[in-house]
Amino acid sequence: MEIKKLLEESSRYIMNTYNRAPIDLRKGRGVKVWGSDGKEYLDFVGGVAVNILGHCHPKIVVAIQKQAQRLIHVSNLYHIEPQIKLARLLVEHSFADKVFFCNSGAEANEAAIKLARKYAKEHQGKDKFEIITALNSFHGRTLATLTATGQEKFQKGFEPLMPGFKYVPFNDISALKSLITQNTCAVMLEPIQGEGGVKLPDPDYFKNVRELCNKNNLLLILDEVQTGMGRTGKLFAYEHYNVTPDIMTLAKGLGSGVPIGAMLASDKVASAFVPGSHASTFGGNPLVCTASIATIETLLEDGILLDQCKRMGEYLRKELKNLQKEFPSVIIDVRGKGLLVGMELTRDCSTIVKACMEKGLLLNCTAGNVLRFTPAVIVQEKDIDHMLDILGNVLSSLS
Ligand SMILES: *Cc1c(COP(=O)(O)O)cnc(C)c1O
């Protein structure tokens, strides 16, 4: 279909929930994608932090092909070997003892909210249900996760919201302390606020949050949907802060693009779920789990890719800071960890994103004025240099 007709049919048949760029991507390889007109793009969006190993990584492609020939889906009424293998891999490389599988980040957070409530009610009484989350956070678009998301712009129009959520400024430990009541059961936070504009915590914030949770018998839920799976240079971002959560959620990078989410917990907390507590028809099916096993195994092979993520992240931030020196009236700040990097601007970034796209570079804008860089961990210095060339060109053409 030619692009004009495609755009017409898109607006005729697709619900209008995204402001989509007028291109149609057909093929991907590594950090590059190609449009239907054959135009090549350098991809620093990576499906918004999903394509952690780049597009169509051969190990993922082969794993999916083989599994698709063998068995795509069976019900969770039976044991599923790839699901068990994946759960074991996740447990062996994290604080957790048990895993529940679902299909997205929002679903993983829904499962976390349900588990926290059930655990607290059973162990601490029926009035323990309140969850404290952060302002400027993002936890998903279902009714409960939308309520957990501390941003009115996502909630507007969908009231009444779920009862039982309170919000505090991120990074403010005394505000958190003062909001805890006898009804509080958990604190739910992102290790780095991704959608909120790549906001990093103070170095000792999570240590203090953990201590506060311990003192008040609260569960700590970490939403690692965006920060997990090697994105920050460690498999999970909590490893940077020397704390362990009680519950952690994953999605985005977990399956290299196949829809999979996971909610992980310690044995103590996980035991609140029994048959009938929670379920998902597709959750953890053979196909997605096989893709996810291949993703983790490739990511952890020899520790090379996590190390590359860390080094490329440092290089990217250093070079973006140089760009900041060149354009101090446009760029306010450069920050991030590993390959989750934000560049805050004095202006809305949509014109820059559009101009970069025309020059063959895909960038994402979040929180209105933060350019977000989430390339695959296989990105190389030469790709970053190429990106900087285009971005520098676009910035110097702004008036
Ligand atoms: C993307 C994201 C979600 C939502 O994930 P979906 O798969 O879109 O439901 C939740 N939490 C965080 C931190 C995210 O970045």
CATH number of the domain at 116, please: 3.40.640.10
Do 224 and 238 form a contact (C-beta atoms < 8 A)?
A: yes
| Beta carbon of 106 within 6 Å of any ligand 1 atom | yes
| Beta carbon of 224 within 6 Å of any ligand 1 atom | no
pLDDT tens-digit map of 189-241: 999 999 999 999 999 999 999 999 999 999 999 999 999 999 999 999 999 99
What is the predicted pLDDT for the residue at 31?
Answer: 98
User: What does the alpha-carbon distance between residue 207 and residue 215 come to, in Å, rounded to a whole number?
Assistant: 12
In a shared domain, residues 236 and 353: no
What is the predicted pLDDT for the residue at 336?
Answer: 98
Residue of 156, 140, 199, 201 lying closest to 176 (CA atoms): 201
Q: Check the CA dihedral 21-141-136-233 and report its sign.
A: negative
**Do strands 32-35 and 40-43 pair parallel, antiparallel, or not at all (unpaired)?**
antiparallel
The whole domain housing 262 covers 59-302
pLDDT tens-digit map of 357-385: 999 999 999 999 999 999 999 999 999 99
In a shared domain, residues 114 and 211: yes
What is the predicted pLDDT for the residue at 1?
Answer: 79
What is the predicted pLDDT for the residue at 302?
Answer: 80
* Element spanning 336, H or E: strand 331-337
Burial class (CB in 10 A: 0-12, 13-18, 19+), 313: buried
Ligand 1, atom 10, residue with closest C-alpha: 139
Q: Is the pLDDT of residue 399 over 80?
A: no
Average pLDDT of the chain?
97
Ligand 1, atom 5, residue with closest C-alpha: 105
Question: What does the DSSP 8-state code read for residue 302?
Answer: G
How wide is the angle at C-alpha 302 spanned by C-alphas 299 and 305, nearest 5°?
40
pLDDT tens-digit map of 283-323: 999 999 999 999 999 999 988 999 999 999 999 999 999 99
In a shared domain, residues 242 and 106: yes
| Beta carbon of 140 within 6 Å of any ligand 1 atom | yes
Q: Is the peptide bond before 201 cis (omega within 30 degrees of 0)?
A: no
In a shared domain, residues 261 and 339: no
Compute the distance from residue 240 Cα to the ligand 1 centre, in Å: 21
Q: Is the peptide bond before 160 cis (omega within 30 degrees of 0)?
A: yes
The residues, ordered by sequence, that sit 6+ positions from 107 with a Cβ below 8 Å of its Cβ are: 140, 142, 251, 261, 280, 283
In a shared domain, residues 150 and 45: no
Task: State mean pLDDT over 122-131.
Answer: 96
The residues, ordered by sequence, that sit 6+ positions from 268 with a Cβ below 8 Å of its Cβ are: 246
Compute the distance from residue 263 Cα to the ligand 1 centre, in Å: 13
pTM flag (> 0.85): yes
Residue type at position 32: K
Domain endpoint, select from 302, 323, 347: 302
In a shared domain, residues 274 and 386: no
Q: In 161-220, which residue ranges form alpha helices assigned H by DSSP?
A: 173-179, 205-216
User: What does the alpha-carbon distance between residue 359 and residue 352 come to, in Å, rounded to a whole number?
Assistant: 11
Q: Is the pLDDT of residue 388 over 70?
A: yes
> For residue 132, what pLDDT band results from cuts at 50, 70 and 90?
very high
| Beta carbon of 136 within 6 Å of any ligand 1 atom | no
Compute the distance from residue 325 Cα to the ligand 1 centre, in Å: 33
Do 294 and 140 form a contact (C-beta atoms < 8 A)?
A: no
142 is written with which tokens? 């279902």
Compute the distance from residue 139 Cα to the ligand 1 centre, in Å: 6
pLDDT tens-digit map of 50-106: 999 999 999 999 999 999 999 999 999 999 999 999 999 999 999 999 999 999 999
CATH number of the domain at 356, please: 3.90.1150.10
In a shared domain, residues 268 and 210: yes
In a shared domain, residues 181 and 327: no
What is the predicted pLDDT for the residue at 13?
Answer: 98
Nearest atom in ligand 1 to 259's CA: 7
